[in-house]
Copies of this chain bind each other. A is one copy, B any other.
Amino acid sequence: MSAPIDFYFDFASPYGYIAAQQIDKIAERHGRSVTWRAIVLDANFQSLERIRIPNSVMRSDYIRRDAERLATFYGVEYRTPSNLGAHTEQAARIFHWVHDRQPQRGRDFANRVMKAYFVDDKNIASEDVLGAIASDMEISAEDLQEASANPASRSRLKAEVDMAEARGVFGSPFFIVEGERFWGNDRLPQLERWLSGGPY
C-alpha cells in the first residue's frame, strides 16, 4: 500500500476549497488515500522574505475573478466570501483536534467549514459560526473549548505548520506525494500523471 497523499490547505483559500472537491476522487482512481492537513499561511511561517510583487489590489481583483471562473469551470458551487482572507487559526485547531481522533469526522468538519465560508458566506473566523458547525456535528461545548483554546491544541497546529514549512509547503492547496511537491489545483493533472505512471 502506497503512502497517502498529503493535502495541505488553508481554510481561507478558495483554491484549497476547489481542490478539496477533487483530490479524494483523483486519489481513489489510483487506489491511494489522502491525508487532509489544515495549515495557516502568513501567521506562523518563519522564513518569510520581502520581495517585490505587483500591486496587491490588482492581484486580488484578479484572484477574485479567477476563483469564480475556476469554480464554474469545475462545476463547484462557489461564492466569493464577504470577508475574504478570514483568520483561520481557530478553524484549523478544531480541525486537527477532531481529525486526530477521527480522520473522517475531521474531513466532515473541514467540508462544513468550507461550505459555510465559500457557499453560505459565513464568517469562519467567528466563534458563533464554528460553534454552530460543531453543534451540528454533536461536538460537545466542552470538547469544542478544548479543541479551540487548549494550549495543546495551539501547539498541535503550530507543529503542523512547522512541519509543512520544513517540507517546503508555501501555498494552498499544496500536495506532497512520495516527497514530490505539487502547488495549486492546476497541478492536479501533473499529480495524477505521477500517480499513474510514477516519477517523471
Q: Is the CB of B50 within 8 A of A52?
A: yes
Q: Is the CB of A186 within 8 A of B186?
A: yes
Chain A contact residues (Cβ within 8 angstroms of B): what range? Answer: 35 or more
Stoichiometry (number of copies): 2
Task: Tell me which of B59, B168, B189, B200 contacts A61 (CB under 8 A).
Answer: B168
What's the Cα separation between A59 and B168 when bound, in Å? Answer: 8
Known: A186-B186, A186-B187, A189-B73. Contact between A56 and B61, CB under 8 A? no
Known: A72-B200, A73-B189. Contact between A47 and B54, CB under 8 A? yes
Q: Is the CB of A70 within 8 A of B170?
A: no
- What 0/1 readout, one digit per residue, does chain A (84-102) give for beta carbons within 8 Å of chain B? 0000000000000000000
Known: A58-B47, A62-B181. Contact between A73 and B193, CB under 8 A? yes
Task: Tell me which of B62, B73, B200 contacts A200 (CB under 8 A).
Answer: B73
What's the Cα separation between A184 and B200 when bound, in Å? Answer: 22
Q: Is the CB of B170 within 8 A of A58?
A: yes
What's the Cα separation between A56 and B53 when bound, in Å? Answer: 12
**Which residues of B have CB within 8 Å of A187?**
66, 186
A104 within 8 A of B: no
**Which residues of B have CB within 8 Å of A189?**
73
A49 within 8 A of B: yes
A150 within 8 A of B: no
- What 0/1 readout, one digit per residue, does chain A (164-182) give for beta carbons within 8 Å of chain B? 0100101100000000010
**Which residues of B have CB within 8 Å of A3?**
none
Q: Is the CB of B186 within 8 A of A62?
A: no
Identify 8 residue pairs between A and B in the complex whose beta-carbon atoms are under 8 Å apart, listed by A's number: A42-B52, A47-B55, A48-B52, A49-B54, A50-B50, A50-B52, A61-B168, A62-B168
Which A residues have a C-beta under 8 Å from some C-beta of B? 42, 45, 47-56, 58-59, 61-62, 65-66, 69-70, 72-73, 165, 168, 170-171, 181, 183-184, 186-187, 189-190, 193, 200
